[in-house]
Structure 1
Amino acid sequence: MTSRLYIDVHIVQTVPPANLNRDDQGNPKEAVYGGVRRSRVSSQAWKRATRIHFDAQAPEQDRATRTKRITAELAERIARNTGLDKAPATRIAATLLEQLGLSAGKKVGETAYLLFYGNAQLDTVADLVTDRATELAALDDKALSETLKAIPVAEKFTTGHPMGVALFGRMVANIPALNVDASVQVAHALSTHETQLEFDYFTAVDDENEKEETGAGMIGTIGFNSATLYRYAALGLEQLTANLGGDTGAALDAVGSFVDSFARSAPTGYQNSFAHRTRPSLVAVVVRQDQPVNLVSAFEEPLPTEAGVAAASARRLAEEHTTACRMWGDTPLYSAASHTFTPGDLRTKDTTEALTQAFGEPVAFPQLISGLRARLATSMEDPA
């Protein structure tokens, strides 16, 4: 039995003029916190960016996908395995998936819900009918349905979860048996300071009509802002291990891959217009045994928008962590940080000292992940 361990991931990251995650008006999402308007990036946006980055590092068979086109994906596998034409393969796939009870979507061949599943899980379902495909294709609809009822399709989607599903979970509103409780929680990223919405007025010139007309071929505006963001995620190791069928080695691998992808990923909204990709100034991990702790309260009083916002944000975060530990009388099982601030720089000397007091001596990011894994492995071997 895995002991109850929670991994908090705290990130301070500065983003230049950008529109990472737009609202229904096409402008960057915002939120009022501490009495002022902040830049906001929704948890859904950063979770998807993390998941895409996470899957890109995994072998094809270990990846997961979320789609309404599961019937077409299964039919493609059946056709590839058996040589059947598309139509009979699709008929078999649709009948197999009837067992899941997924409602039909508005478009032909689509389900009403996005289903998050592993490639290996769908491969396993396709393998169930590979040896009988020609025989099954010859049956009428009633006989095909009766024959395929005996095949344990639902079981293949409730076991053998890939790391992505084990981390981010799966919810199908009207089919609780398919639900997987997420082991990861991601907060909405918030700027540590007040932000102002700005607009980029742009024009586009028609290259083939430049001599005849002097005006623009197109005119428009894009909303943007720039911000230093506080990003936070929490991971429950006990839930993650359970989702992976008790495989502690896979759980430890998933923790490292998640921290890496959460730190390195970014939503892609308007990325061609703003080239907004940056890396964090600070990544801190804290392992706790009681509960996850979001440190956004460090920024309830917004930082003044002056030079050195990133350093001031990191210092505030470190001080909040130290103060909270002292107030509640608890000591985290493990703390570590990787950051860009140096004690030799007088502008960041106070920040470096605060970070060291809170999280220990800084380490390079790869060592942050390897050290986290080693500490978790020790705790899992000896929960006491």
Structure 2
Amino acid sequence: MTQPTLFVEVHILQSLPPSNANRDDSGTPKQALYGGARRARVSSQAWKRAARTEFAKATEPADRATRTKRIAALLAERLTRPVAEGGAGLDTAQADRLTAALLEPLGITKSSKKEEQSAYLLFFGKRQLDKIVKLLNGRAADLAALSDADLKVEVSKLPVVATLSTGHPAEVALFGRMVADLPALNVDAAVQVAHALSTHAVRTEFDYYTAVDDENTEDHGAGMIGTVEFTSSTLYRYAVLGVHQLRDNLSSAEDTRDTAVRFVDAFARSMPTGHQNSFAHRTLPHLVLLTLRTDQPVNLVSAYEEPVAGVTGLATESALRLADELKTVAATWGAEPVRTLATYNTEADKLTETFGPSITFPKLLNSLSELIEQWLADGRITKATM
């Protein structure tokens, strides 16, 4: 029997003033050709990182995930903590030796460049390291005193891989994990994020700036001269969350609902921080549209294959284009979402007709929570008419 699926799609229109939120290796704002026109672009990785950072703000530090090559250092530090603080009370040499033995089943080898780091980044929950320490069951000192051969035998009896394969924090459940050398550690991501693209053509501009030496009173020249590239844009942002996959990753229905709602909140409010001090480009969206589907996700970027050419602004025309595309996809493919929820600040009958009336963002999140709770309870959502 096919398991029911639920996709929560997040469509966002957001205007950025002069900014360089995501740059390439030469310092130029990232761009892409789409529909024959050059568009501003913010990479999916940059916005996923921003969303994950925003998401973590509402999580206790001990319950957060981390992506690092320093797993060995973090585990060794826990082993040196006093037993009363959840550690094993080992000295540094004992902790390093036991750590190496514990992580060997993960295939974690030292980097050739930095001996204190592993060869690849690993995304895991901080609580999962605490659970590895608990696997020792007070035997850390005894294990550390064993010979290398005996230590390897004893550690092989501990479910280290299984400990890192279960009990994932919300961040890992959302964004997934891939370890090519050890598939048992892989976690299928519940979230996919598209590259953000401007709905219109852009051109790169240059900010010529100077800095004054405050202590130089002998002449009026600049202490430093430089340029920074920037663009201004109205971006279409898209992400899709598979609630069914998130439920499989987390197991708990309550955690699934709360994590899904928190992700939508974090994704809407997040912003990559490239050149943030120079441009202060932190804005909020003009429009947040949620489409709930039970068949397959549909990225509506095709609304902007022909670039918007605004005369009195781009946001309103971009929103109207999005409404048209949603209706076109539904009519052509029969791909009508079961529900839509929207927050927008543009007064237009077409938007109300297609998206439904605009509701405040907190109310949108509350409504999403109720719909997900309904789906988790009985595997369906009552279809709304468009």
Q: Match of 2:141?
A: 134
Match status 1:19 vs 2:20:
yes
Q: Which runs of 5+ in 1 are unaligned?
A: 344-351
Q: Equivalent residue of 1:82, what SS?
A: coil
After TM superposition, where is structure 1 displaced by more than 4 Å over at least 4 residues in a row?
A: none
Q: Match of 1:71?
A: 72
Q: Which of 174, 177, 182 is the aligned partner of 1:167?
A: 174
- 2:43 counterpart letter in structure 1: S
Match status 1:101 vs 2:102:
no
Equivalent runs, 1:208-357 vs 2, <5 Å: 208=215, 210-244=216-250, 246-341=251-346, 343=347, 352-357=348-353
CA offsets, 1:60-82, max 9 Å, x none? 23211100000001111111113
Alignment TM-score, normalising by the size of structure 2: 0.93
Residues 21 and 274, structure 2, Cα contact 8 Å, conserved in 1: yes
Residues 78 and 130, structure 1, Cα contact 8 Å, conserved in 2: no
Q: Match of 2:151?
A: 144
Q: Which of 194, 218, 234 is the aligned partner of 1:187?
A: 194
Q: Distance in 1 between matches of 2:169 and 2:286?
A: 31
Distance 1:166 1:256, change over 3 A: same
Residues 194 and 305, structure 1, Cα contact 8 Å, conserved in 2: no
Q: Distance in 2 between matches of 1:200 and 1:129?
A: 58
Q: Distance in 1 between matches of 2:333 and 2:302?
A: 15
Match status 1:59 vs 2:60:
yes
Residues 3 and 380, structure 1, Cα contact 8 Å, conserved in 2: no
Per-residue deviation at 1:173? 1.9
CA offsets, 1:174-209, max 9 Å, x none? 22111111111100000000001011111112222x
Per-residue deviation at 1:284? 0.6
Q: Equivalent residue of 1:116, what SS?
A: strand
Q: Match of 2:362?
A: 366
The count of aligned residue pairs is 373
Q: Which of 379, 383, 386 is the aligned partner of 1:383?
A: 379
Q: Equivalent residue of 2:210, what SS?
A: strand
Q: Equivalent residue of 2:267, what SS?
A: helix
Residues 2 and 241, structure 1, Cα contact 8 Å, conserved in 2: no
Residues 105 and 156, structure 2, Cα contact 8 Å, conserved in 1: yes
Q: Distance in 2 between matches of 1:4 and 1:317?
A: 25
Q: Distance in 1 between matches of 2:40 and 2:66?
A: 29
| The 10-residue stretch of structure 1 (79-88 or 251-260) with the greater mean CA deviation from structure 2 | 79-88
Q: Distance in 2 between matches of 1:82 and 1:180?
A: 29
CA offsets, 1:39-88, max 9 Å, x none? 00000000000001111111223211100000001111111113322232
Match status 1:3 vs 2:34:
no
Q: Distance in 2 between matches of 1:130 and 1:202?
A: 61
Q: Distance in 2 between matches of 1:256 and 1:128?
A: 33
Q: Match of 2:91?
A: 85
- 1:287 counterpart letter in structure 2: L
Identity score, percent: 54
Q: Distance in 1 between matches of 2:202 and 2:158?
A: 56
Distance 1:130 1:205, change over 3 A: farther
Per-residue deviation at 1:12? 0.2
Q: Distance in 2 between matches of 1:131 and 1:2?
A: 43
Residues 322 and 357, structure 1, Cα contact 8 Å, conserved in 2: no
Alignment TM-score, normalising by the size of structure 1: 0.94
Give the CA RMSD over aligned residues: 1.4
Q: Equivalent residue of 1:326, what SS?
A: helix
Q: Distance in 1 between matches of 2:142 and 2:333?
A: 67
Residues 165 and 180, structure 1, Cα contact 8 Å, conserved in 2: yes
Per-residue deviation at 1:383? 2.4
Q: Distance in 2 between matches of 1:370 and 1:140?
A: 58
Per-residue deviation at 1:2? 5.9
Q: Distance in 2 between matches of 1:324 and 1:83?
A: 62
Residues 88 and 133, structure 2, Cα contact 8 Å, conserved in 1: no
Q: Match of 1:347?
A: none
Q: Which runs of 5+ in 2 are unaligned?
A: 82-86, 381-386
Residues 329 and 336, structure 2, Cα contact 8 Å, conserved in 1: no
Q: Match of 1:38?
A: 39
- 1:64 counterpart letter in structure 2: A
Q: Match of 2:384?
A: none
- 2:52 counterpart letter in structure 1: R
Q: Match of 1:348?
A: none
Residues 238 and 299, structure 2, Cα contact 8 Å, conserved in 1: yes
